[in-house]
Amino acid sequence: MAEIYQIDNLDRGILNALMKNARTPYAELAKYFNVSAGTIHVRVEKMKQAGIIIGTRVEINPKYLGYDVCCFIGIILKSAKDYPSALAKLQKLDEVIEAYYTTGHYSIFIKIMTKSIDDLQLLLINKIQTIDEVQSTETLISLQNPIMREIMP
């Protein structure tokens, strides 16, 4: 079993700063935390190697790209053995932005973004519900996303 990397207050501070702005220069972080830029670099590299930091990304506002409909779809599969092939087919759909293998009523729970309700309807009818492994679906349309945050270190 892999050893869990124990973060300290400096690591926690670095993580919080990078979560606010991943492009913050190490030299700027070093001044703020009163350590050398080399120390920041070493700490970040150790957290990458430990799997705590898994990358950086640009966050995009989907509404400004015309994606106005966010919804969640609970998928019930015909059989548990259908999971890998159903997941592979869902992976090919650009509108599917997250997928979870779950316990409870649904086998798979997905998050999708479409430009309109009409696009959502077409996605359901022509793509998701035509997947052979899918027995049934239930769609929940999101009205707003009032809480959206990362896990705090």
| Residue 2 banded pLDDT, cuts 50, 70, 90 | low
Does pLDDT of 109 surpass 80? yes
**In the numeric block, which tokens belong to residue 43?**
């700490």
pLDDT of residue 153: 87
User: Rounded to whole angstroms, how far apart are CA atoms 111 and 140?
Assistant: 10
Torsion of the alpha carbons at 56, 62, 65 and 67, rounded to the nearest 10: 150
pLDDT reading at 1 higher than 50: no
Average pLDDT, the chain: 95
Average pLDDT of span 49-54: 94
- Per-residue pLDDT tens for 64-74? 999 999 999 99
Rounded CA gap, 69 and 126, in Å? 17
Q: Give just the sign of the alpha carbon dihedral 96, 100, 103, 108.
A: positive
Over residues 25-53, the mean pLDDT reads 96
pLDDT given at position 25 = 96
pLDDT value for 69: 97
Judged by DSSP in three states, 114 sits in: strand
In order of their start, the domains of the chain are: 9-49 (1.10.10.10), 62-141 (3.30.70.920)
